[in-house]
Structures are given as structure tokens and as C-alpha cells.
């Protein structure tokens, strides 16, 4: 283990302040919310969207005493018990440290890059190699400048191989990754359109990506992506493809309903491989894996046997509803320390239940390495878990996990046999196991089924989008996140937990009962209620919810109510009507509001706000400008009248982008958080929700027949019609009927036929190779689908009915 002194020596830097240079460092921390072994942590004040220097006090309070900074931090200067390393560029320093660490190991590092499939190829190679090798793989999709550094930090002497994924989004990044990873073997999965916006051409992107392999001994990839002449014979390359120039040649491909038979020539030997995949992407990933095994010298028989055992992998962790009011976090496909840490962090963000349980399988390499055991025990002891169910050998060193009650089973079967004796009730349960333990059997018992139509919600996309909007506003401007209407259709506590963890400043709901639901689920952030009514005054107070106050009569009634209950200084938010003419005081009423507020001490104005009616519309910019000015006048008047300051806020999503002059003290972020780019200039915004269904039946029908109610779907040709399980009761509007709506199946856009039914509708899939159970994306582009029926994305999102199961993904 390195000490601070040693780190400074190898990186030739003198610490700015030293208290205890013999402190050992095993953890690199960049997020003060994620600290689990402060005594052995080194904090890096990175400058990302948020400046890490702002979180140094928090990290100190959690016990960290060693810091890498890029500027003078008065707090650190004022105390003595810290080590400070001051550098020009903190990320670069972190990367140099990791580069040094990586160079301590001689075993081969396999670097994996490409546009798609990196994580799958990595996870598959892991499975393919572990029967006889000790393999390290980078966790989840940790492939960025920071992710790669954190991944490499976990390298240790106990491995035979390391699999490291590398991803870039702009030119110049790969050289830095190459320096850190120093891959001996390069795997190039493919090149596609992802992140193309920062590159001038596909060629430029290819050249950039191949920089990862500039010092590798070999590059492995498809010859479609790696033209033979690319390296002029200067590099050893192993290619797969359709040509006999390829070392691995895909001769034929026979596709069945749920599997494919591949005839492959591996070197000189021809073999048949049956795999449970039919899609092109999976077949490509399989070819990459075959090529790596071939290069590593595996026998063809072994390659075929192991490839046939590959299963579809879910790379992301899923949050779903479980039995007995439990939340299930399903991460049952892989198990290693680094990814356990990420999953436990996610478990810790869950506030909706009073208890937390971890069901965990034995982990590759854990029993052999005392260093890993030590980390594992620390992680569990600081995890905040209530219960820990272990599947595997009951090692004596497990006794050192003292803070959590433990139940142990020798196998998954043993656990399942005793299942009914274990009580699961109102708790969050993380299920994490290595592939061979088949924890999907446990998930099946605990999770409620979500067949047919589901709304998948990508929680990472919400964080990403929040960061993007945060980067558009000054650092000291607060963020209020709109979670009204079930977070625009995407969830209640599931989304609120994430927002609370991401430290937004406020949440906003439409009605008091939405706020109550969040409080019951353990959300502690301040919550504003947009349309409170008299009947819910008591709930507001019981659950500490802050009402919007929009009229004199409401104000009077609320004050009376508070007086009756002898409550003082209750927080309220005053709303100004600047043209919506919905709720709110007119500017002309501000004087009387001041009068009323001066003569009482029941309420206190924490914020004063207005909602712009057309912040996204260029044609209304004159109007909008006038309204912002009018708001400002009223705000100044109110501040003088009240004699104290309050939070000023005006901007919704569009105004965050288009009206920097209206950022004031806080912004109210709505639709943008959920990935809809109303202003079409934030290409990095990520889609958050994806509504998916499946094909239930397929019919061949003749020209002239009709489809659906009232014979509205008239067939003008012999047609193939697919019935899918989504109808207007799920939120798929009848207006999408008769060809107006288009869905995506296997990469093709297909129109609806006939009227939309209550629970189903029909699609024209003539000429396409579509099968029962194929997946269907209902809104390929939410913006386009909304436009098709003359509405806005907001309406489509909030109309997805509650009977559609929500599944949350996180990685």
C-alpha cells in the first residue's frame, strides 16, 4: 500500500502541508458522498461540473485527512491535521498516480474500445477466461478519463489478466487513456455513430480510437472496421470477418427464433457454434470474443464449448418493485468488489424503506487475497446494512463483519430451500451474485413480474441531464427539480432519491398528496407544493411541505389556520402572475401583499417566483423580456416592503437555456431533466425513459381485409400484421391510430393499422422479419411522436398510465 510520502516521491512533488506523511492510501475519493474508509482515503478535488474544492469540508467531516487540490483552500490552510498536495491539474495528477500503479504489473492488460459492445465484450471475456485464469475487469461501464483511472487503481498482484474498457467522446482523450492503461492486447469492437457530434468524420473517430493501441502487441477486431491496410504491416492484427483473409471467418449464419448457428473457421479449423442470440450486435461481440480466445491460444473445442455457454447479460443494475412492499435491486449478473461498491452506494440512496438487506454470493479471488478481504470487510462494516445474506463457504474471516447481522447458506439451492423462513418485508434488497450462482432464481421469487409493457427509466441519464443544466447556470444558483405528476411520468421516490443524492436544493410537486408520498418514502429535501388547497393545510404542516401562495384569500386562510394552531414563521412561496393568468398575484397586488405580511408572524416568504408563459418561443422574446423586468420590479418592491431577502426564481427548462438573465437565485428544472430537449441545442442530453412492449401475435392477411374496430384499417395489399400489447388504457392515445403513430421494431419504423384498442393495437409489418415476442419501442422519438398527434412531449410522458410497470436502470 502506498503512503502519502511514497506518492509524493514517485510523482516528484513536495506536499504543501504535511501532518502525517506515513498515512496509508488505499482509496481514491472524488465524491464526498462516497466515503467508506476515510483513514485510508485520498481526496481529489476534481473540477467537473461541480468543483470538488467546494466539498472539502464535507470530506474532512467524514474523516478524510489527505487532499489533492489545485488552489489554495482557506479551510485547509486554517487547520493542522491534514496533508495537502497542491498541483496544477488534479485529474492529471490522479492519472499519473494510476499510471505508476499500472506499471507495477507485468501480466497482460486487454484494452477494449469501440462505439458499442465494449461492456458486453468485457463481461463475456471475463466469463470465458475465468475457468482457469484470475481476471480483473473494470466495473460497470467505468470507461471515461476518471472511470478508467479508478478501475486501474484496483489492479493487484493476484491477477493473470486485466480487462479494461476505454471510451472517449472527443478528440485528444484517447492518448491519455492509453498512457494509463498501457494495453498489451487491443480489442476493437466496432465503429458506429455514437458520440459522432464531436468528430468531423468516421475516419477521424477511428484514428482517435485506435490510439489506444499505439503500443499494443496486437489489435483484434472485425475487418470491416479495421481495414487490412490500416497498419501497413507494422502491427500484428487478428481480424474476424467474412473473407478468407480473416483469421476468424464467419462462413454462414443460420438464424432461428431464439438462437443462431454460426459456422466459423477458427484458424484452420471449421466448427459450428450455437448461440442464444440472433441480433447482429451480439454476433459481432461473439466474434470479437472468439478472436481473443484464438489469439490467446485456446483450443477450438474449448472456444466452442465456452462460447455456447454465453448468456445475454444485463449490464445495468435494475430497481424494481418486489413482494411484501420491498424494493428489489437486481444486480445478479456479476460480482466483484468494485461493482459491489457501486451497487451498495445505490442501495444507500434508497430511503423508501426502513431496512436494507444484501444478498451476496461468494466472489472470485476473495478467499485468496487478504487485502481484498480487508477491503470487503471495511465496505460491509460501513455500508449501513441491516442484514447480510451470504451464499457460499462460511469463511472464518467473515466474522469480522460486525456491524451487520449475517445469515449464511452454502449454495443458492440451500437458500431457496429455506426461503419461506426468511422474512422479507418493507425493505430494500440488493441481490448481487456471480453468474454461476444463478441469482436470477432469487430475483424471480422476490420481484414482481413486469412482462409485456414496461417503461424503462435510465437513472444515469437523469444525473447526466442534471449535470448538463447545472453547467449552464452559475455555481451559486440553486436547482429546484420538478417532480410533479409522478416526475413527468417516470416515478416518485425512485427519482426523488436520486435527486436528493445529487443534492438538488428543492423539489416541487403539484399537490400536497404527492409531497406526502415523498415524505413517507424518506425524502427530506424541502418540497414546494404548486396547487395546495384548504383541505390539505393539515397535511402540509404534518409533512413539512411548503405551499405556493397565489391569492389574497388563500393567504388569509392559511394565516388563520396557522394562527389557530399557534404556528409561526411557516415557509411559503409567493407566486406572481406575469401573463399565464392561471394562479398568482398581479404586480398591482404586491402592495397589499406587503401590508398583509407585515401584520403577522405566521408565515415567512422563502421565495418569490413567476412562471414565464413562452420562454422557449423566439417570437415572444420581446414579451418575455418585459415580463422578466416586471418580475424584477415586483421582487425589489417586495424585498424592501418585507425588509428581508428571499429566493428569486423564474426560469424553467427553456429559460435556463435561453434566458441567463432570468437565472436569479434558483432555476426550476422540469422537462429537460427527463431528457427532452425543447430547445434543440443540447445534443448531450440523454433520453431517460423508454416505453417498450412486445409482439403478441402475427397474422398474414389478404388485400381488402380490415383490421380493428369499425373496420378502419383497410388493407390495400396482402399484409403481415403484428398485434402489440399497448393501447389507450396504457397512455397510447387513440389519435395514434390508422398510421399516425409509428413504432420501432428491430430497427424498422412501422405504422399502426386501424383504431387503437384499449389494451392493444396493430402494426403493419409487411415485408419485415418480425417474430412473436420481438421487442417494440413505442415512442422512437418522443418529440416526433408528440408532433404526430399535435401535442407536446409533456403530455405523452405524463399519460403513460400507472399500470405500465416502471423498471429503473443504474450503472
Task: Give catalytic residue positions.
Answer: 484, 709
Smallest distance from ligand PLP to CB 790, Å: 19
Q: Are strands 185-188 and 218-222 parallel, antiparallel or unpaired?
A: parallel
Q: Confirm if 56 and 67 have CB atoms less than 8 A apart.
A: yes
Is residue 671 a contact point for ligand PLP (CB under 6 A)?
yes
- State which residue has the least CB distance to ligand PLP: 670
d(CA 503, CA 478): 10
Stretch that binds ligand PLP, among 93-101, 180-188, 243-251, 649-657 (CB under 6 A): 649-657
d(CA 214, CA 490): 44
Smallest distance from ligand PLP to CB 792, Å: 10
DSSP letter at 322 equals B
Stretch that binds ligand PLP, among 20-28, 471-479, 652-660, 763-771 (CB under 6 A): 652-660
d(CA 606, CA 505): 13
Stretch that binds ligand PLP, among 260-268, 337-345, 499-507, 666-674 (CB under 6 A): 666-674
21 class by beta-carbon count within 10 Å (0-12 exposed, 13-18 middle, 19+ buried):
middle
d(CA 652, CA 671): 9
Q: Confirm if 494 and 808 have CB atoms less than 8 A apart.
A: yes
The total number of residues written for the chain in this structure: 811
Smallest distance from ligand PLP to CB 612, Å: 9
Smallest distance from ligand PLP to CB 672, Å: 6
CB of 139 or CB of 675, closer to ligand PLP: 675
Q: What's the grid cell of residue 534?
A: 384548504
Smallest distance from ligand PLP to CB 785, Å: 18
CB of 671 or CB of 770, closer to ligand PLP: 671
DSSP letter at 791 equals -
310 CB-near residues (< 8 Å, 6+ apart): 124, 127, 128, 275, 276, 286, 289
Q: How many CB atoms lie within 10 A of CB 511?
A: 18
Among 607, 653, 694, 733, binds ligand PLP (CB under 6 A): 653
d(CA 725, CA 757): 10
CB of 434 or CB of 678, closer to ligand PLP: 678
Query: Which residues in 138-157 contact ligand PLP (CB under 6 A)?
Result: none
Stretch that binds ligand PLP, among 155-163, 246-254, 367-375, 662-670 (CB under 6 A): 662-670
Smallest distance from ligand PLP to CB 427, Å: 33
Dihedral over Cα of 264, 266, 268, 271: its sign: negative
Is residue 624 a contact point for ligand PLP (CB under 6 A)?
no
Number of residues that bind ligand PLP (CB under 6 A): 11
Stretch that binds ligand PLP, among 144-152, 413-421, 668-676, 715-723 (CB under 6 A): 668-676
CB of 368 or CB of 617, closer to ligand PLP: 617
Stretch that binds ligand PLP, among 120-128, 171-179, 669-677, 782-790 (CB under 6 A): 669-677
Q: How many CB atoms lie within 10 A of CB 756?
A: 25
Q: What's the grid cell of residue 211?
A: 490510439
Residue 794 backbone phi and psi in degrees, to 5? -50, -45
Is residue 652 a contact point for ligand PLP (CB under 6 A)?
yes
Stretch that binds ligand PLP, among 214-222, 539-547, 647-655, 756-764 (CB under 6 A): 647-655
Among 120, 135, 482, 529, binds ligand PLP (CB under 6 A): 482
Smallest distance from ligand PLP to CB 517, Å: 18
Query: Which residues in 382-441 contact ligand PLP (CB under 6 A)?
Result: none
CB of 322 or CB of 579, closer to ligand PLP: 579
CB of 111 or CB of 672, closer to ligand PLP: 672
Stretch that binds ligand PLP, among 12-20, 36-44, 224-232, 667-675 (CB under 6 A): 667-675
> What is the DSSP track for 8-20?
HHHTT---SB-S-
Query: Grid cell 389478404 — which residue?
Result: 702
Q: Confirm if 724 and 695 have CB atoms less than 8 A apart.
A: yes
Smallest distance from ligand PLP to CB 674, Å: 8
Of 99, 87, 288, 277, the closest CA to residue 176 belongs to 99
423 class by beta-carbon count within 10 Å (0-12 exposed, 13-18 middle, 19+ buried):
exposed
Smallest distance from ligand PLP to CB 163, Å: 41
Q: Which residues pair with 274 in a beta bridge?
A: 261
CB of 416 or CB of 485, closer to ligand PLP: 485
Angle between helices 370-381 and 337-349 (to 10 degrees): 0
Is residue 53 a contact point for ligand PLP (CB under 6 A)?
no
CB of 412 or CB of 610, closer to ligand PLP: 610
Query: Alpha carbon 442 to chain centroid distance?
Result: 24
Smallest distance from ligand PLP to CB 51, Å: 25
227 CB-near residues (< 8 Å, 6+ apart): none
Q: What's the grid cell of residue 15?
A: 506536499
Q: What's the grid cell of residue 35?
A: 466515503
The Cα diameter of the chain in Å comes to: 93
Stretch that binds ligand PLP, among 585-593, 617-625, 646-654, 746-754 (CB under 6 A): 646-654
d(CA 51, CA 71): 11
Q: Confirm if 721 and 698 have CB atoms less than 8 A apart.
A: yes
Query: Which residues in 564-623 contact ligand PLP (CB under 6 A)?
Result: 611
Smallest distance from ligand PLP to CB 485, Å: 8
14 class by beta-carbon count within 10 Å (0-12 exposed, 13-18 middle, 19+ buried):
exposed
CB of 416 or CB of 583, closer to ligand PLP: 583
CB of 357 or CB of 652, closer to ligand PLP: 652
CB of 119 or CB of 615, closer to ligand PLP: 615
d(CA 219, CA 128): 19
Smallest distance from ligand PLP to CB 676, Å: 8
Q: Confirm if 102 and 181 have CB atoms less than 8 A apart.
A: yes
Is residue 668 a contact point for ligand PLP (CB under 6 A)?
yes
Q: What value, to the nearest 5°, has the Cα angle with vertex 422 and ends 417 and 425?
A: 135
CB of 293 or CB of 650, closer to ligand PLP: 650
User: What residue spans of 477-620 are helical by DSSP H?
Assistant: 484-488, 493-501, 512-520, 537-542, 552-564, 590-598
Among 670, 708, 713, 741, binds ligand PLP (CB under 6 A): 670
Among 123, 135, 530, 707, binds ligand PLP (CB under 6 A): 530
Is residue 793 a contact point for ligand PLP (CB under 6 A)?
no
Smallest distance from ligand PLP to CB 254, Å: 50
d(CA 413, CA 423): 17
Query: Which residues in 260-299 contact ligand PLP (CB under 6 A)?
Result: none
Is residue 465 a contact point for ligand PLP (CB under 6 A)?
no
d(CA 185, CA 163): 10
CB of 208 or CB of 577, closer to ligand PLP: 577
Residues forming contacts to ligand PLP in the complex (CB under 6 A) are 482, 530, 611, 652-654, 668-672
Amino acid at each position: 500500500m502506498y503512503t502519502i510520502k511514497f506518492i509524493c516521491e514517485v510523482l516528484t512533488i513536495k506536499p504543501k502541508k504535511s501532518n502525517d506523511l506515513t498515512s496509508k492510501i488505499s482509496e481514491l475519493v472524488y465524491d464526498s458522498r462516497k466515503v467508506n474508509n476515510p483513514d485510508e482515503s485520498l481526496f481529489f478535488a476534481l473540477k467537473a461540473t461541480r468543483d470538488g474544492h467546494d466539498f472539502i469540508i464535507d470530506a474532512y467531516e467524514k474523516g478524510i485527512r489527505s487532499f489533492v487540490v489545485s488552489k489554495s483552500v482557506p479551510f485547509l490552510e486554517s487547520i493542522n491535521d491534514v496533508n495537502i498536495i497542491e498541483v496544477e491539474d488534479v485529474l492529471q495528477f490522479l492519472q499519473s498516480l494510476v499510471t505508476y500503479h499500472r506499471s507495477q504489473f507485468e501480466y497482460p492488460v486487454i484494452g477494449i474500445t469501440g462505439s458499442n459492445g465494449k461492456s458486453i465484450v468485457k463481461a463475456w471475456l471475463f466469463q470465458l477466461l475465468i475457468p482457469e485464469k484470475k481476471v480483473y475487469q473494470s466495473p460497470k461501464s467505468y470507461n471515461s478519463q476518471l472511470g478508467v483511472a479508478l478501475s486501474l487503481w484496483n489492479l493487484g498482484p493476484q491477477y493473470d489478466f486485466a480487462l479494461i474498457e476505454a471510451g472517449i467522446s472527443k478528440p485528444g482523450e484517447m492518448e491519455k487513456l492509453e498512457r494509463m492503461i498501457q494495453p498489451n492486447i487491443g480489442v476493437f469492437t466496432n465503429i458506429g455513430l455514437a458520440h459522432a457530434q464531436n468528430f468531423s468524420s468516421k475516419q477521424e473517430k477511428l484514428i482517435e480510437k485506435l490510439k489506444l493501441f499505439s503500443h499494443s502487441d496486437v489489435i483484434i477486431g472485425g475487418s470491416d472496421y479495421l481495414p487490412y491496410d490500416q497498419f501497413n504491416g507494422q502491427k500484428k492484427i487478428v481480424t474476424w470477418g467474412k473473407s478468407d483473409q480473416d483469421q476468424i471467418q464467419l462462413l454462414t449464419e443460420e438464424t432461428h427464433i431464439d438462437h443462431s448457428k454460426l459456422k466459423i473457421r477458427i484458424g484452420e479449423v471449421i466448427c459450428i457454434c450455437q448461440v442464444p442470440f440472433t441480433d447482429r450486435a451480439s454476433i459481432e461481440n461473439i466474434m470479437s470474443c472468439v478472436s481473443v480466445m484464438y489469439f490467446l491460444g485456446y483450443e477450438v473445442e474449448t472456444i466452442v464449448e465456452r462460447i455456447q455457454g454465453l448468456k445475454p447479460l444485463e449490464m445495468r443494475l435494475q430497481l424494481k418493485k418486489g413482494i411484501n412492499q420491498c424494493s428489489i435491486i437486481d444486480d445478479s449478473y456479476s460480482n466483484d468488489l468494485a461493482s459491489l461498491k457501486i451497487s451498495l452506494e445505490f442501495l444507500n440512496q434508497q430511503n423508501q424503506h426502513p431496512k436494507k438487506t444484501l444478498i451476496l454470493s461468494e466472489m472470485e479471488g476473495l478467499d485468496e487475497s487478504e487485502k481484498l478481504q480487508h477491503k470487503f470487510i471495511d465496505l460491509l462494516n460501513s455500508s449501513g446494512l441491516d442484514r447480510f445474506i451470504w451464499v457460499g463457504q462460511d469463511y472464518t474471516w467473515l466474522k469480522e463483519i460486525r456491524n451487520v447481522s449475517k445469515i449464511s447458506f452454502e449454495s443458492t439451492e440451500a437458500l431457496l430451500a429455506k426461503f419461506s423462513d426468511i422474512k422479507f418485508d418493507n425493505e430494500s434488497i440488493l441481490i448481487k451474485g456471480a453468474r454461476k450462482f444463478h441469482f436470477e432464481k432469487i430475483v424471480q421469487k422476490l420481484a414482481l413480474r413486469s412482462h409485456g409493457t414496461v417503461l424503462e427509466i435510465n437513472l444515469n441519464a437523469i444525473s447526466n441531464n442534471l449535470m448538463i443544466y447545472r453547467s449552464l447556470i452559475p455555481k451559486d444558483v440553486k436547482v429546484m427539480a420538478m417532480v410533479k405528476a409522478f416526475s413527468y411520468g417516470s416515478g416518485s421516490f425512485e427519482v426523488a432519491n436520486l435527486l436528493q443524492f445529487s443534492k438538488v436544493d428543492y423539489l416541487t410537486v403539484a399537490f400536497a398528496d404527492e409531497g406526502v408520498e415523498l415524505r413517507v418514502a424518506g425524502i427530506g429535501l424541502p418540497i414546494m407544493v404548486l396547487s395546495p388547497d384548504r383541505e390539505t393545510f393539515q397535511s402540509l404542516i404534518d409533512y413539512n411541505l411548503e405551499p405556493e401562495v397565489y391569492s389574497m384569500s388563500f393567504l388569509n386562510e392559511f394565516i388563520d389556520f396557522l394562527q389557530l394552531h399557534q404556528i409561526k414563521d411557516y415557509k411559503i412561496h409567493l407566486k406572481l402572475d406575469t401573463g399565464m393568468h392561471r394562479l398568482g398575484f398581479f404586480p398591482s397586488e404586491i402592495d397589499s401583499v406587503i401590508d398583509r405580511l407585515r401584520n403577522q408572524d405566521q408565515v415567512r416568504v422563502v421565495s418569490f417566483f413567476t412562471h414565464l408563459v413562452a420562454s422557449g418561443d423566439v417570437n415572444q422574446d420581446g414579451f418575455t423580456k418585459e415580463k422578466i423586468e416586471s418580475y424584477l420590479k415586483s421582487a425589489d418592491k417586495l424585498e424592501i416592503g418585507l425588509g428581508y431577502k428571499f429566493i428569486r426564481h423564474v426560469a424553467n427548462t427553456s429559460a435556463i437555456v435561453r434566458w441567463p438573465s432570468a437565472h436569479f437565485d434558483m432555476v426550476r428544472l422540469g422537462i429537460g431533466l427527463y431528457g427532452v430537449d425543447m430547445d434543440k441545442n443540447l445534443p448531450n442530453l440523454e433520453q431517460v425513459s423508454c416505453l417498450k412492449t412486445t409482439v403478441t401475435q402475427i397474422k398474414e392477411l389478404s388485400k381488402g381485409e380490415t383490421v380493428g374496430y369499425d373496420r378502419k384499417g383497410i388493407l390495400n395489399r396482402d399484409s403481415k400484421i403484428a398485434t402489440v400489447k399497448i393501447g389507450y388504457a396504457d397512455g397510447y392515445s387513440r389519435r395514434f391510430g390508422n398510421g399516425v403513430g409509428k413504432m420501432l421494431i428491430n430497427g424498422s419504423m412501422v405504422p399502426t393499422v386501424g383504431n387503437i384498442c384499449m389494451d392493444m393495437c396493430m402494426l403493419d409489418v409487411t415485408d419485415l422479419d418480425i417474430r412473436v415476442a420481438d421487442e417494440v419501442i413505442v415512442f422512437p422519438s418522443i418529440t416526433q411522436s408528440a408532433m404526430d398527434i399535435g401535442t407536446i412531449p409533456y403530455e405523452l410522458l405524463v399519460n403513460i398510465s400507472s399500470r405500465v410497470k416502471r423498471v429503473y436502470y443504474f450503472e
